[in-house]
Structure 1
């Protein structure tokens, strides 16, 4: 039977990337720490660490095992704290992947409510960041999960819109029908919209497809927005990213009868049963903010 104490010793070694530093922090001998990790590897029949005379790093199996050990340690701390204090306050670091800096207002409100929580934000539209960067949560405009270990909870809906800056539109012919877009420069979010055709969908579900090549291809929604605001073309953008600019007149919506697509937004995460209180708290907070994504 593998000891939970031994798992916590391994977690400390993985965290500190050093047998010596882990031993000092745990106040036990370095030889004992090394012995515990070796015994774990034998029990698991898996190498958890790459060891050299100068460095220590996790194997792929070791990285996955460390994530589980860390979660178990956090759950144990929370269980003890909840027993001691029924009014426990969520605390600690949440690593979150989000496609847009437009989430700053929502996340700022969350931090004001829970000042003991810290956020480590990764701005990315790629699912890979959730796994490779070991994010606790990813906010994504899709429920498609590329890994069976992932879970998703719907937070609300936003609207996909065509937009351009007034300065750019002043330089081109009026846009009154879908085909007029073919004469304009397209700023494409390559991951979402590709580079071969515009696909437009109205609120009745009617789809219009136009073969078009983008002037600029990018990989994040934030970058799409910056190019559009720099008067370089039109783009398809989520409503929550552009509502302030629309209100200030810095962006103009195009062809709302042609493209007005409601898209669900999800919080995607890796663990369901062993979820830290701070992560559960953030997910519940976001679920209450459904209108903020519109």
Structure 2
């Protein structure tokens, strides 16, 4: 009796919708509504504010939700602990990652992982937008830079370095900027942002830059830089081989920003899953810099 309505209430609270909670639980909206109402009557407490447009938690509902969420997470953890006894990890992993990093670095390793674990299926959605893992039903996300969501578990996989570079032909024609202020005198090849990241006198700085190229494609920006159209700032996996073969030259190295960390992020109730743990460990081993 004490469990009746708990799952329904938790999902209504998280989705702020009876309809979405019903879809999550694969039951009717009316059944979700009845169970939550019965729960409120049993507790003699109003847990939710309901309007035609929105559902939100009352103050009492907030407190009750935190405890109920912990209970459900504990149940999930118990089920995962039992499933860990299985000798072979299996099932579907749903993950998301930034587009270029996913294509170039991540998914080839996921393919290698699946060669070793043939009973695992992977669904990947690549997007540069930050996706809500719980709402989207994702098991895992790869994120770059500072993390803002403290409710998620996170493990560092690797890091990346942003280089400012130009081709020898551009340098021969226009010279090299030796300070951040001199960037204003150069044609900067821009991506989706109109500023670049640097570190000056121990402090991180964003410098606004301008130029004749605005692409949302790192590969196209590299091509433009190789052809002498301007200066570019891009992560190492775009430019490393060109720096090594002389196609590009690294500049403003004294102002290079600290490395950006690359993280595996996942909901707390996923951390005991053998398939998630195996994949995260596999990525950590393959992506970690020496």
Interval containing the TM-score (normalised by the shorter chain): 0.5 to 0.7
Cα distance, 1:288 vs structure 2: 1.2
Q: Matched residues in 2 for 1:5 and 1:132: separation?
A: 20
CA contact 1:127–1:138 (8 Å) conserved in 2: no
Matches within 5 A, 1:135-214: 135-142=138-145, 144-164=146-166, 169=170, 172-175=173-176, 177-178=178-179, 181-188=183-190, 195=195, 199=198, 213-214=209-210
TM-score (ref. length: structure 1): 0.62
Instruction: Return the match for 2:248 from 247, 252, 272.
Output: 252
Q: Does residue 35 of structure 1 match 2:34?
A: yes
Cα distance, 1:41 vs structure 2: 5.8
Alignment RMSD = 5.0
Cα distance change, pair 7–176 in 1 and its aligned pair in 2 (3 A):
closer
Deviates more, 1:87-96 or 1:73-82: 73-82
Cα distance change, pair 237–290 in 1 and its aligned pair in 2 (3 A):
same
Q: Does residue 122 of structure 1 match 2:126?
A: yes
Cα distance change, pair 70–285 in 1 and its aligned pair in 2 (3 A):
farther
**3-state SS of 2:89 partner:** coil
Q: Matched residues in 2 for 1:216 and 1:152: separation?
A: 39
What residue number does 2:261 align with?
Answer: 265
**3-state SS of 2:161 partner:** strand
**3-state SS of 2:84 partner:** helix
Q: Which structure 1 residue ranges, 5 or more long, are not aligned?
A: 24-29, 53-57
Q: Which structure 2 residue ranges, 5 or more long, are not aligned?
A: 12-17
Cα distance, 1:267 vs structure 2: 1.7
Cα distance, 1:109 vs structure 2: 2.4
What residue number does 2:238 align with?
Answer: 241
What residue number does 2:281 align with?
Answer: 284
Cα distance change, pair 259–131 in 1 and its aligned pair in 2 (3 A):
farther
Q: Does residue 108 of structure 1 match 2:111?
A: yes
Q: Matched residues in 2 for 1:152 and 1:171: separation?
A: 45
Instruction: Return the match for 1:226 from 216, 220, 228.
Output: 220
Cα distance change, pair 80–242 in 1 and its aligned pair in 2 (3 A):
same
- Work out the number of aligned pairs and report it: 266
**3-state SS of 1:89 partner:** coil
**3-state SS of 1:88 partner:** coil
Cα distance change, pair 244–209 in 1 and its aligned pair in 2 (3 A):
same
Q: Matched residues in 2 for 1:271 and 1:261: separation?
A: 30
CA contact 2:178–2:252 (8 Å) conserved in 1: no
Q: Matched residues in 1 for 2:208 and 2:9: separation?
A: 57
